[in-house]
Amino acid sequence: MTERSTFFDTKIEFLKGVGPQRAPLLNKELNIFTYGDLLQHYPFRHEDRSQFHRISELNELMPGAQVKGRLKDWLITGEGHKKRLVGTFTDGTGILELVWFQGISWFEKSLRRNADYIVYGKPILFGGRYSITHPDIDLLTPENAEGGTWQPIYSLTEKLRKRFVDSRAISRIVKSLLELATPHIRETLPEGLIQRYRLISKADALWYIHLPPTTAHLHQATRRLKFEELFYNQLRLIKSKILQQNEFPGQVFDQVHLVTEFYEKHIPFALTNAQKRVLHEIHQDFQTGKQMNRLLQGDVGSGKTIVAFIAMLMAIDNGAQACLMAPTEILADQHYQGLKAFADLLGITIGKLTGSTKKKERRVLHEQLQNGVMKILVGTHALIEDEVQFQNLGFCVIDEQHRFGVAQRSRLWAKNEVIHPHIMVMTATPIPRTLAMTLYGDLDISVIDELPAGRKPIKTVHRYDAHRATLFGFLKDEIAKGRQVYIVYPLIEESEKMDLKDLTDGYESISRSFPDVPLSILHGRMKSQDKEYEMGRFVRNETKIMVATTVIEVGVNVPNASVMVIENAERFGLSQLHQLRGRVGRGAEQSFCILMTDFKLSKETRTRLETMCRTNNGFEIAEVDLQLRGPGDLTGTQQSGVMDLMIADLAKDGAILKEARASAQAILDNDPDLVTPAYAAIRLHLDNLRQSETNWSRIS
């Protein structure tokens, strides 16, 4: 281990101002164990302490204000939880009240009457006078009298605050660490990139992100650290992709007789230009002799499955077998029924394997797979069982990929040890480009961004609870036309009981309003077989209304369902609303999505609902969702590529990400093994990243 890495790996307890008392607190509360961890505990914002305001200048629009003046007096007032310490503070232009609800006895002992202080906080107007609750307060000294600083604000916990570890305490220990660390901080980017993008040095960036003299310094530090973080994120993803392509050859599929026959004799509709483009990309991959790893994104109803089937024909044409894995039995059966109709026309043997498949049927399936008679296998997790052996598996399709773990995917991949199969993962969750580049930068990405001709856009409207009678009248009319309806209640993760109560109350209300209409009910607490049974009844049109929580399956196709009612729509994220809307609009009839809320809505909620009513474009919706919520949980699962980001924000830093990826790609195109002396800094940094289990090496 190098001297630099040893320094940044030093335990935090050895830093002045921390010691053995504070170290366990920082370990547990902030996950800070080493010098490196502390330097990368970046402030999430900075408060402007560069100037002073007079009390007469204060207004409630100020996010914060810094005032110099004298503390005249204070008193304790109120009882119980309303007990508070109220100080009277003046600068000669007005009176400002300082209010404390916590730490009253400590403050009362430490405050000095008629002493001069600097006070900072958010001014609130109450009873004709401004007050600041729990202000930052410091005795006025020659050192702080001129202002001129930007105060870093760090993520904290309640426990830290109670132990008097606030942002200023962290700022002090960070400053003492920076003074020690500066000689150890080495450059982690090549000189060419630093010059091209006019980036400041790593050492300066670390100083200015914590203790910026001006906003310009803070901007430069943020820009440098974001670029570096995204550059290494993309470099590692692209390097992984190159390694995989070089290490793992793929079967060559160049014969297309079956595809031609399907096009000329059997395909029942014209493919969209987007579908043709994606098939061309897949066909090119199949001819390279390298393994394909491709993500196929397509909005609900865009025709991903027919693209997957045509790609399967390319594999079958060349003596290989194909499989499709779906997350649930309902979805697997739906895919099987859809593909079987086409496979039968071409004389191709297709099978289905799920947890429900009988032992006798399994024996036949296993035999046909091993002797090569069965060309396509559709199923659930059952596909990855050890006894499922193919003669020559050449192409795997994984639907709704975020529902499967990496280990499950790799077991499917290992079904052909001679030459691993090509992989295509499909998702109907639209992912913004910036997020896709970070989550799936090691995959090639194809997008089907147009709907088949003749598909009517779903009409989406927002209605308030007061319109419920009108809504029920509309639902009765649709059911009279022979249509089916979904009514969805929100899943409240904090309280399953509360969720169930919402659903049960809703079900009873619907039962009373539609006494002659057969209903289905579906929620997360039901057993799997009961869910399958209820969903099956709805698919077969035996029930007309499905009252459900969000467990209704992604991808389940009920063409006769034309109305989606989403209760308490304000409690859903945009991506979830769009996914739910995608349950309808699958038939030829006009479909509707009705978003029900009460009148009290936040500005952000109104933006979400307006976006849903304005557009059916999933990618546009995903971009708005990213702006509103950040990358958090857009893909339905926490992905490490995003969660590792410490300073970059994918909702705002798309331009930086694009440049960082282009730079990483250019460097690896030029020198895949990074042996050029100009790339020594990158090579050393990547070595440190590999060695380290913590993140200190990003600094070293």
- 165 and 36 belong to one structural domain: yes
| 221, pLDDT greater than 90 | yes
- 341 and 426 belong to one structural domain: yes
- 282 and 416 belong to one structural domain: yes
Which of 568, 589, 615 delimits the end of a domain?
615
pLDDT above 90 coverage of the chain, percent: 57
> Which residues, including other chains, have CB under 8 Å from residue 71's CB and lie 6 or more apart?
87, 88, 89, 98, 111, 112, 113, 114, 115, 117
**pLDDT class of 636 with cuts at 50, 70, 90:** very low
For the whole prediction, is pTM greater than 0.85?
no
List the single range of 207-211, 337-341, 420-424, 640-644 with lowest mean pLDDT: 640-644
Average of per-residue pLDDT across 195-210: 96
DSSP 430: -
Average of per-residue pLDDT across 348-376: 94
- 468 and 581 belong to one structural domain: yes
Both tokens of 358, joined, read 């009988």
Most confident of 181-195, 439-453, 623-637, 679-693: 181-195
In a domain, 620, yes or no: no
Average of per-residue pLDDT across 32-51: 92
Average of per-residue pLDDT across 672-697: 76
- 352 and 402 belong to one structural domain: yes
Phi, psi of 420 (to 5 degrees): -60, 145
- 76 and 182 belong to one structural domain: no
Average of per-residue pLDDT across 609-620: 90
> Which residues, including other chains, have CB under 8 Å from residue 347's CB and lie 6 or more apart?
none
Q: What is the reported pLDDT for 583? A: 85
**pLDDT class of 554 with cuts at 50, 70, 90:** low
- 549 and 657 belong to one structural domain: no
Both tokens of 361, joined, read 């049927």
List the single range of 14-23, 286-295, 641-650 with lowest mean pLDDT: 641-650
Q: What is the reported pLDDT for 353? A: 95
Q: What is 367-387 written as a DSSP string? A: HHHHTT---EEEESGGGGSTT
CATH code assigned at 92? 2.40.50.140
Q: What is the pLDDT of residues 459-515, one digit of tens each?
A: 999 999 889 999 999 999 999 999 999 999 986 444 555 555 578 888 898 999 999
Q: What is the reported pLDDT for 698? A: 30
Q: What is 566-623 written as a DSSP string? A: ETTGGGS-HHHHHHHHTTS--SSS--EEEEEE-S---HHHHHHHHHHHH---HHHHHH
3-state secondary structure labels for all residues of 55-102 = HHHCCCCCCCEEEEEEEEEEEEECCHHHCEEEEEEECCCCEEEEEECC
What stretch of H or E contains 470?
Answer: helix 468-480
In a domain, 284, yes or no: yes
- 62 and 99 belong to one structural domain: yes
Both tokens of 381, joined, read 């997790």
In a domain, 117, yes or no: yes
In a domain, 634, yes or no: no
Q: What is the reported pLDDT for 621? A: 87
Both tokens of 168, joined, read 């200023």
In a domain, 629, yes or no: no
> Is the Cβ–Cβ distance between 326 and 476 less than 8 Å?
no
Contacts 24+ apart (CB under 8 A), 273-280: 273/450, 274/298, 274/302, 274/447, 274/448, 274/449, 274/450, 275/303, 275/306, 275/307, 275/448, 277/446, 278/307, 278/446, 278/447, 278/448, 279/307, 279/310, 279/311
Q: What is the reported pLDDT for 246? A: 78
Q: 């800070």: which residue's tokens?
A: 32
In a domain, 244, yes or no: no
> Which residues, including other chains, have CB under 8 Å from residue 509's CB and lie 6 or more apart?
none
pLDDT above 70 coverage of the chain, percent: 92
| 313, pLDDT greater than 90 | yes
Dihedral (CA of 382, 384, 389, 394) sign: positive
Which of 593, 615, 637 delimits the end of a domain?
615
In a domain, 439, yes or no: yes
CA 92 to CA 27: how far, in whole Å? 46
**pLDDT class of 633 with cuts at 50, 70, 90:** very low
In a domain, 623, yes or no: no
Q: What is the reported pLDDT for 545? A: 95
Which of 100, 116, 147 delimits the end of a domain?
147
CATH code assigned at 399? 3.40.50.300
Q: What is the pLDDT of residues 126-150, one digit of tens each?
A: 888 999 999 989 999 988 888 777 8
For residues 217 and 493, which has the higher predicted lDDT (pLDDT)? 217
**pLDDT class of 557 with cuts at 50, 70, 90:** confident
- 545 and 529 belong to one structural domain: yes
Coil, strand or helix at 241: helix
| 524, pLDDT greater than 60 | yes
For residues 24 and 4, which has the higher predicted lDDT (pLDDT)? 24
- 574 and 659 belong to one structural domain: no
State the residue range of the domain holding 12: 1-49+155-207+653-700
Our count of domains for the chain comes to 4
Average of per-residue pLDDT across 676-680: 92
Across all residues in the chain, what is the average pLDDT?
Answer: 87
- 262 and 401 belong to one structural domain: yes
- 405 and 319 belong to one structural domain: yes
Average of per-residue pLDDT across 567-576: 88
| 386, pLDDT greater than 80 | yes
> Is the Cβ–Cβ distance between 295 and 433 less than 8 Å?
no
